Amino acid sequence: MGSSRIAFDPWEGSYAPRMEHLRRSAVRDLFAAISRPDVIGLSGGSPDISSLPLDEVSEMAARAIREEGVKALQYGGSEGRVEMRETVCRLLAEDGIDVTPDDLILTAGSQQALDFLGRMFVSPGDVVLCEGPTYLGALQALSAYEPRIVCVEMDEDGMVPEALEERLRELGPRGAKLIYTIPNFQNPTGATLSLERRRRIVELARAYEVPLVEDDPYGRLRYEGEHVPPMRSMDDGVIYLGTTSKIFAPGLRLAWMVAPRPVLARANLCLQGAGLCVSALSQVMAERYFREVDWRSVMERTRAVYRERRDAMLDALARTFGPEVRWTWPKGGFFVWLTLPPYFDTDQILSHALRRGVAYVPGTNCYPDERGASSMRIAFCYETPERIREAIARLADVVSDRMGLYRAFMAAGALPEEPARATRQLGEHYPSPFATEGK
């Protein structure tokens, strides 16, 4: 016979006030659910590393231990091995970013870099400007520092500069502490910031003296269209974040921050306090991977896999949903942003979706203020095309059930006039996939 007990926290009341402001990760909370074999996970942005030549990587790792084991298994400098920083410089040069090893530090994933930026720049009540919606991990990383996060309007071409300028004008010079953007295949919408907008946003950040943070985990995962130069290539003041997670292996927890050197000096202090240094073994593995393995061919195969999965998702959405549902069309990356009619609450229907065997991230997790209730983030990066199609079919069943229930309540006169008006527009109204109806 099982037993249950209530666990009381003996330290209740002793925790720092900042703990009250920490956000949960919707993706981590769903891990237990998506580990069930009957659930198809469209929630997490987990890279598919099945294209990695594991035999070659394992031989490379063995050589690394044999030849550099004494260094690879030891502490290292907090800024990172110069060999790995030189490797990063070569990667960045291919995208038009000209830096030296002294212009960057290595971090244990981009998430750690986001935490450091919050620690360095943000005090309680300070304003951080970002796209709306934005990366839920950034909201979580910054939450401990109690900022006032203000979302700037975006569309299929990314953050709208005119909306950003309006916010900056209201706040005045140095009125915001950071501008945060994911310009390439944005998480969660998949939108890509156009070249003209990149230039204008750089100009605005410079004019209003606000640090601009360019988070670029997906830049090499383009499936159509032409490469757009990073904003860091336009202005050396831009703080640029990159990672090996999407181009090698997320388990290495290895990323980099390119920034003006005074910023790097402070980030280095944060790193020393947070973890002393980044894993030397991870660095040696990455150095050798980009030097000894034909990683570009691996990336080409990986992009082909992701492209097929994206196309499967977009095709399934088009075949399954009617005109009352809209979604974005990403040219790369991992995510599609799906918007349902405004009377939907994707938080509320998540439990129904899980019972049907499909998981997604409710849209409210991608806003600081519970907007996005009728939207969701769905990922195509991990599941096979067949399972993606099945997941969309299951999701459509959940949506159809709720639509039917809603119409029944409306016909019975049990709903207020405003939602009823939204329902009468079904089939006529084409809501923007960036619509952000509140709860």
d(CA 184, CA 222): 9
DSSP class of 280 = H
Asked if pLDDT for residue 54 goes beyond 50, the answer is yes
394 and 40 in contact (C-beta within 8 Å)? yes
Please report, as a single letter, which amino acid is at residue 32: A
Phi, psi torsion values for 155, nearest 5 degrees: -145, -160
Query: CA 112, 116, 120 angle in degrees (round to 5)?
Result: 175
Q: What are the residues whose beta carbons fall under 8 Å from the beta carbon of 6, sequence distance 6 or more?
A: none
DSSP state of 312: H
pLDDT band at 338 (very low <50, low <70, confident <90, very high): very high
Is the link from the previous residue into 188 a cis peptide, with omega within 30 of 0? yes
pLDDT tens-digit series, residues 377-393: 999 999 999 999 999 99
| Cβ atoms of residues 244 and 255 within 8 Å | yes
pLDDT higher than threshold 60 for residue 279: yes
Query: In the beta sheet, which residues pair with residue 266?
Result: none
What is the average pLDDT across 49-65? 88
Six-digit token string for 97: 């970013």
pLDDT of residue 416: 55
71, 77, 230, 383, 398 from 249: Cα distances, Å:
21, 22, 23, 17, 34
Q: What is the pLDDT of residues 389-430, one digit of tens each?
A: 999 999 999 998 877 666 665 556 655 544 433 333 333 334
pTM flag (> 0.75): yes
Query: What is the C-alpha separation between 201 and 159, in angstroms, rounded?
Result: 9
Please state the rounded mean pLDDT for residues 81-90.
94
Question: What is the distance between the alpha carbons of residues 311 and 353, in angstroms, rounded to a whole number?
Answer: 22
Structure tokens at 338: 């799906």
> Residue 25 pLDDT > 60, yes or no?
no
Q: Which two tokens stand for residue 337?
A: 């942003």
Q: pLDDT per residue over 173-225, tens digit each?
A: 999 999 999 999 999 999 999 999 999 999 999 999 999 999 999 999 999 99
Q: Which residue has the higher pLDDT, 138 or 425?
A: 138
Strand partners, 130: 151, 180
Q: What is the mean pLDDT of residues 119-134?
A: 95
φ/ψ (deg, to 5) at 428:
-115, -35
* 201 or 283: which leads in pLDDT: 201
What's the mean per-residue pLDDT of the chain? 87
